[in-house]
Structure 1
Amino acid sequence: MDPNESAVSVPKEPAAAPQTFTRQKIFRATSEGDASKLDGLLDFLLAHDKKLTSPEFSDGKTALLNALLHLKNGKNDTIQVLLDIAEATGDLEKLVNTPYTDPYYKGQTALHVAIERRSFDHVKLLVEKGADMQAKATGRFFQYDAAGEGFYFGELPLSMAACTNQLDIVLFLLENPHRGVDVTDKDSRGNTVLHALAIIADNMEENTEEVTQIYDQILICHSKSVEAPGVDLEAIRNNQGLTPLKLTAKLGRVKLFKHLLQREFEDAATRPLSRKFTEWVYGPVHSSLYDTSFLDTNEPNSVLELLVFGSAIPNRPAMLRVEPLNSLLEQKWDKYAAKLFLINFLVYMTYMVIFTSVAFRREQGVPPFPVEGTVPGILHLSGELISLIGAAYFFYKGVISFVISPPNIKALYVDGYGEILYFLQGSILLISAAMYGCGLKHYIGPAVISLVLGWINTLHYSGGFKKLGIYHIMMQRMILGDFLRFLCIYAVFLFGFSAAILVLIEDAPHEHDEGWSSDLSIFSHLGETTLDLFGITIGMGTLHFPGHIACKDVFYFLLILYVILTHILLLTMLIAVMGRTVDRISTDSEDIWKLQRALAILNMERLLPRWLRTKLISRVAMTLRFGGGKQEPRKFFRVEEINWKKWRSDLSNVHREDPESNMMRLEMYGGNKRSELWNLQPLLGRLRGWNHTELINDP
């Protein structure tokens, strides 16, 4: 080729146009987990001065949230790519912590999603990248409501990990070196992670084991943290004023409740977190000290008050059987409640004698009657005033009781109807007094009804005796159960047959055959007919055949059918059903009796002056202090119990420690007396009986 000849230039291919990324394209890549489809995304963002958190790349959730929602076998290669891109654009922390904006999932962050997907690796990665561990998911989906919709886990990431039984993630969040988690933080309901665990707990064995393990680990980790001194995690109250223990009681989580009351750590470092301390063991006999914090009535809204007055709480009798509540109530009864109960009984019987005497000595005529100046007249007036004051007291007491614990069908079946009967007794007598003041001579009707109710209410005091109390409980439950259902069915038959027979009765008799009565009072009106048929049902009536019946054959048929359906069928069935009910409820009648006796104990305590109530309560517990006075003193209650499944052959104080040790030294203060836990009482002097329960009185 001639060198002077100009070379023919070959045209070059045009450079590829820069790749364009849209929200749909990015979300498609993250949904598929294909990191190659994100090649060039960083250059695109830098060229257009945009970030992954820009509005055009979000539809209520970010690409990172979308990627975490599409994990496959716990992996999605686009997650690391997105984090690297965000770090390069200076938007890492914002991307990690940008929450859902949709109202249904509002507040949910990438950390929440990683925990929900049970991906420990991604949780660790997000925390390392600056994830906010106090972010709250407050959308409708995370707000459990009364209808059972939604999924409540406490809103916080730690609560979600705890409530979904991910102990490894819980421990990582608590102990990771990157950033600490505030265990005392509350959600929108005021619940901490411990409250959330109480809510999701049930009474199944597997669930209880998981929840208690995580609950204890959170307490242990919190006690080791630098923020722990002076902060009692179990003393934090939610928006309802409930601690985790109180919330557990209110929700009826009986197995978790038992664990919390009887929690005992053997390790010296964590032993102060225990609520139970084994003082000594001799064979199967254990002497234990139980922490009474939040339990007794010396503080408002205590566990005892929640259980006893909480008529809607499930498993109430079972929770009151748990130590130390069972022994605490027994001790209250033995120490002072039994005496107060006897005094109340004597006062009430005196009132009923006065009320009955006044009712017997009523005057005839139209009230009000003039007051006689004689001694009998003055005594009669005094008796009327005492009766009226008693009625006003019962009315007031009933109103207060209904405000504290509104009555419902379930509460009546367990708590009984004693408070309602007292309320009716007082109310009806007040109505009678108002009728007396208005000059109505029929005032005596309500008065005698109140008198009957008053004597029926004396059965309330049978609760002071176990045999009578259980018998009374069984009567209550049968009346509110089988007998009430029987009355509903029987009322239909009684009214229906009474109306039918009354229709057959003519206004005047037309024939007087032999064997037929001409007494016009027989089946003369609906009330008389109903009463006659009721007498036939219970076998106390007489078969009368009035002569003024329009159709004798139909009358025969109705009367025979009524006897078959009521006297033979219904009554026989009632007896059989009630017999079966007695066998069924006899097993838990003792628990119901204990519950009603506990109700009586707390009601009597409320009537006492505060100073006297505090003094009586302090006599059933002793004050101990941990760690040489570094913590507030705690009230403890001693219970001696037998555990045949746990036998120790050594005769020793289980927690005998070096008295100079500050880790497990318990000091009891009272007057000039001071003793260590390892030397509270001579051991042999404590063994008085296999089932004996005893306390050390606070001097």
Structure 2
Amino acid sequence: MSHSNDPVIKQFSLETYDGSEDASARGKRAKQDSRSKERNVPMDTTLFEDKETAKPKVKFNLEFNRMVTESEGSNNQEERFGMETLFAAVSSGDATRLNGLHQYLVHTLKHLTNTEYQRHGKNALIKGLLNLKDGKNDTIEFLLDIAEKMGDLKKFVNAAYTDSNYKGQTALHVAIERRSESYVKLLVQKGADVHARACGKFFQEHDGPNFYFGELPLSLAACTNQPAVVDFLIDNPYQKVDITKTDSQGNTVLHALVLVADKENTNNNFIVRMYDHILTTAAKLYPMIKLEDIENHQLLTPLKLAAKKGKIEVFEHMVHREFQNVEFHHLSRKFTEWVYGPVQSSLYDVTSLDSYENNSVMDVIIYNNRIPNRLEMLQVEPLNCLLNDKWDKFAKWIFLFNFICYLTYLSIFTVVAYYIHERSMLPSPERPSADYLYLMGLMISTVGALHFFIRGISDMWRKCPTPQSLLVDGYDELLFFIQGILFIISAVLYLCGMHAYLGFLVICLALSWVNLLYFSRGSRHLGIYTVIIQKMILGDILCFIFVYIVYLFGFSAALVTLIKDSSTNMTESGDPEDNANCKNLTYRNIQFTILELFKFTIGMGDLEFTDQVQYQEVFYILLISYIVLTYILLLNMIIALMSKTVENISEKSFNIWKLQRAITILDIERTLPSCLRKRLRSGMEKDLGRKPDSDKRWCLSMEEVNWDKWSSNLSIIKEEPGNQENVPVPTAPTRRDRGSSWYRLLSHRRLAQPVEEPETTPMMTSRV
């Protein structure tokens, strides 16, 4: 006996064997299984056999020592149903071919859930659903009726694929994929698991054909645009789905819709409709559940996932979503304050958008270099307006202060470096005292270098950049980090009394002045110019240097091997001269040869060393080939490529500059203390609920011009959403306010209609 509180015990069962397969057939099948073991098993096809690899099974033979009686003799004449016979009958859709199946199963003590009636977990029910004709297969109801009579209906309905490609797929998944609403309802009525997960390789994102839909039946119905099936699964009298259920990656049905959306806007229309439909349905049935706030294993909500994957159409729809229905008003992220012709004032909910919060949408877009269209995504409102407001409110002033501080540091560092080189200021006992100004400048230079070094490490730890993002987004930060490392190495060598410190110090000084171009981000024209230079350095010039170094070292090694070694040098009168007194570099020196060939590249080389060449013909062939490949070919090629790069980048340079400025804004904002960040936060808190203090959100007010929909928005939807009791009365407008178009528009509205109370001035306005 079993009780409800007892632990679940797996049942042990023996499968019967009626001798329908002889030894030779079993041996042939085993060989076929071994040959097809490494091949991917198809879901359902007639081109390949999808037989399962033989596994050890315990069976007992009904033919063993069986005494033939009259009744048994009649039974031997009955048709025996093997897997091939059963699958062939189910594929045909002819239920008459299954006559006698129930009697056969009862007599042989077999079940439709036995492993001999499965291929990698695919049973007769799944086989029938894969072979629908005009959406019907009469054998499906027949099989379900037999399974119900045999007492294993639930096990039969929930049988799942065991193959690694389609693991976990059940008959319910197949019925949804075949778009058969009637069979979906029938399977759920018969006990199908509405939370079964199809987690095979084919259902995960990877290189090659695949279809990720969120593993769950509800996600599959939503991603294949079947709203009727979605509604049935969410609300049915048999087994309702848990709408908050997640897959192996932590994704809900909303996450799955975002991932299925296409970047080229080929299927986004039904995606956004289905997204809103599920969102409103969940809000109606489960008002306490905030489905859109559920995070997956990467701590991403559907909105943040759309931003991370670059699904700009879906992302823009989410941000601009506005429901006019009072029942779903709380699901909106955009609220219209007033409309006058094509001009309207809107409130945007910036919750999870603003970088004021950790792991915000703005952080995801700006610091994620893998998004191909993140430049365009930053132009979606209200992100663009948020960045402009942050720049005008605090970022540009802090950026200007940082520029002045760095320029001061750079001047002090330059003077200190020159003073060290001029006086050879190596530490020694004979010179214990030094100028206080020099010591102060040295300390400032050291502290600045340590700051750049520590900041570079912290940025790499926080952002975890890829090599590509480190060279693109972190280009300037990487240069500052190298500057700090060079100064630290120079300081260590200086304290050790080694004159080699000067080489590192000089390189650090040159790089410090180059890093001054980082502050060109504050100016649009200089910023765009710097962007073009950066793209050329990281693109065309790097490729040119790599190819040129190959030619340079190759021909230098050949010339060093070809030229004779002269043990003595002759004076102008022809007398030998001691090498110790006059030692001239020859082309037997690899460094000297490389330098001379480089001079040929820039047109400054000479041919005064030809008397040391063993084979002048070979020498001239090598030299002419080198000049043609480098001076004529490579130099002209790099010029042409750079010209083409300028044309291509000039169109995107403005957006790239805005991206770099956005990175700077977020980096500056992170350095602010929490109290100052809260005070300088963009937007204002608004009560958007129908009741006081029912739906408070942080919003950004914007003015927009939309000529496409202005004729449908002739009435004022709402002048000021939410509770107005605690809104402060604005002060008298300044001259600048009176001259703005917003004030003129607002004044015109006051003259056109009576207003009892003065309207609240938005914290920020913008023109789109």
TM-score for both structures, normalised by structure 1: 0.86
Q: Deviations over 1:564-612 (max 9, x none)?
A: 3323332222212211111111111111111111111111111111222
Classify 1:510/1:289 alpha carbon distance in 2 versus 1 (closer, same or farther; 3 Å): same
> Match of 2:335?
277
> Match of 1:31?
91
Classify 1:86/1:208 alpha carbon distance in 2 versus 1 (closer, same or farther; 3 Å): same
Residues 1:666 and 2:729 aligned together: no
Quote how far apart the aligned CAs of 1:488 are: 1.6
Classify 1:199/1:373 alpha carbon distance in 2 versus 1 (closer, same or farther; 3 Å): same
> Match of 2:147?
86
**Mind listing any 5+ residue stretches in structure 1 that lack a counterpart?**
1-13, 658-664, 675-680, 689-693
- The answer (yes or no) to whether the contact 1:295–1:303 under 8 Å persists in 2 is yes
Q: 1:298 aligns with which of 356, 359, 368?
A: 356
Q: What is the letter of the counterpart of residue 359 of structure 1?
A: A
- The answer (yes or no) to whether the contact 2:257–2:271 under 8 Å persists in 1 is yes
Q: What is the letter of the counterpart of residue 329 of structure 2?
A: R
Three-state SS of the structure 1 residue aligned to 2:326 is coil
Classify 1:301/1:385 alpha carbon distance in 2 versus 1 (closer, same or farther; 3 Å): same
> Match of 1:368?
427
Q: 1:422 aligns with which of 480, 484, 489?
A: 480
> Match of 1:455?
513
Classify 1:331/1:195 alpha carbon distance in 2 versus 1 (closer, same or farther; 3 Å): same
Classify 1:124/1:629 alpha carbon distance in 2 versus 1 (closer, same or farther; 3 Å): farther
> Match of 1:598?
662
Residues 1:696 and 2:763 aligned together: yes
Residues 1:135 and 2:202 aligned together: no
Three-state SS of the structure 1 residue aligned to 2:420 is coil
Q: 2:600 aligns with which of 529, 536, 539?
A: 536
Q: 1:653 aligns with which of 703, 708, 716?
A: 716
Q: Deviations over 1:80-105 (max 9, x none)?
A: 11222333444434432333344443
Three-state SS of the structure 1 residue aligned to 2:335 is strand
Once the two structures are overlaid, the 10-residue window that deviates more, 241-250 or 485-494, is 485-494
**Aligned length, in residue pairs:** 658
Classify 1:471/1:370 alpha carbon distance in 2 versus 1 (closer, same or farther; 3 Å): farther
Aligned-partner Cα distance in 2 for 1:650–1:108:
48
Aligned-partner Cα distance in 2 for 1:161–1:37:
32
Classify 1:559/1:286 alpha carbon distance in 2 versus 1 (closer, same or farther; 3 Å): farther
Q: 2:540 aligns with which of 482, 501, 519?
A: 482
- The answer (yes or no) to whether the contact 2:322–2:335 under 8 Å persists in 1 is yes
Residues 1:567 and 2:631 aligned together: yes
Residues 1:168 and 2:232 aligned together: no
Quote how far apart the aligned CAs of 1:174 are: 2.9
Classify 1:505/1:75 alpha carbon distance in 2 versus 1 (closer, same or farther; 3 Å): same
Quote how far apart the aligned CAs of 1:154 are: 0.7
Q: What is the letter of the counterpart of residue 620 of structure 1?
A: G
Quote how far apart the aligned CAs of 1:487 are: 1.4
Three-state SS of the structure 2 residue aligned to 1:278 is strand
**Mind listing any 5+ residue stretches in structure 2 that lack a counterpart?**
1-72, 574-581, 731-737, 747-760
Aligned-partner Cα distance in 2 for 1:67–1:185:
29
Q: What is the letter of the counterpart of residue 231 of structure 2?
A: L
Classify 1:259/1:649 alpha carbon distance in 2 versus 1 (closer, same or farther; 3 Å): closer
Quote how far apart the aligned CAs of 1:695 are: 5.4
> Match of 2:452?
394
Quote how far apart the aligned CAs of 1:666 are: 2.6
- The answer (yes or no) to whether the contact 1:463–1:593 under 8 Å persists in 2 is yes
Three-state SS of the structure 1 residue aligned to 2:636 is helix
Three-state SS of the structure 2 residue aligned to 1:190 is coil
Q: 1:353 aligns with which of 393, 411, 418?
A: 411
Aligned-partner Cα distance in 2 for 1:630–1:120:
44
Q: 2:168 aligns with which of 107, 112, 134?
A: 107
TM-score for both structures, normalised by structure 2: 0.78
Classify 1:104/1:203 alpha carbon distance in 2 versus 1 (closer, same or farther; 3 Å): closer
Q: How does 1:216-255 map to 2 (within 5 A)?
A: 216-225=276-285, 227=286, 229-255=287-313
- The answer (yes or no) to whether the contact 2:160–2:169 under 8 Å persists in 1 is yes
Once the two structures are overlaid, the 10-residue window that deviates more, 64-73 or 451-460, is 64-73
Aligned-partner Cα distance in 1 for 2:648–2:451:
37
> Match of 2:577?
none
> Match of 1:203?
263
Once the two structures are overlaid, the 10-residue window that deviates more, 81-90 or 326-335, is 81-90
Q: What is the letter of the counterpart of residue 39 of structure 1?
A: N
Aligned-partner Cα distance in 1 for 2:522–2:546:
33
Quote how far apart the aligned CAs of 1:626 are: 2.0
Quote how far apart the aligned CAs of 1:519 are: 9.9
Q: How does 1:308-319 map to 2 (within 5 A)?
A: 308-319=366-377
> Match of 2:69?
none
Q: Deviations over 1:60-112 (max 9, x none)?
A: 23322222122233221111112223334444344323333444433222111
Aligned-partner Cα distance in 2 for 1:643–1:524:
75
Aligned-partner Cα distance in 1 for 2:305–2:713:
39
Q: What is the letter of the counterpart of residue 496 of structure 1?
A: G
> Match of 1:7?
none
Q: 2:706 aligns with which of 629, 643, 652?
A: 643
Q: What is the letter of the counterpart of residue 105 of structure 1?
A: Y
Three-state SS of the structure 2 residue aligned to 1:589 is helix
> Match of 2:383?
325
Q: 1:63 aligns with which of 124, 132, 139?
A: 124
Aligned-partner Cα distance in 1 for 2:441–2:97:
96
- The answer (yes or no) to whether the contact 2:309–2:371 under 8 Å persists in 1 is yes
- The answer (yes or no) to whether the contact 2:330–2:695 under 8 Å persists in 1 is no
- The answer (yes or no) to whether the contact 1:127–1:178 under 8 Å persists in 2 is yes
Classify 1:552/1:19 alpha carbon distance in 2 versus 1 (closer, same or farther; 3 Å): closer
Residues 1:123 and 2:213 aligned together: no
Three-state SS of the structure 2 residue aligned to 1:290 is strand
- The answer (yes or no) to whether the contact 2:683–2:698 under 8 Å persists in 1 is no
Quote how far apart the aligned CAs of 1:161 are: 1.4
Identical amino acids, percent of aligned pairs: 47
Classify 1:591/1:448 alpha carbon distance in 2 versus 1 (closer, same or farther; 3 Å): same
> Match of 2:640?
576
Aligned-partner Cα distance in 2 for 1:218–1:345:
51
- The answer (yes or no) to whether the contact 2:168–2:196 under 8 Å persists in 1 is yes
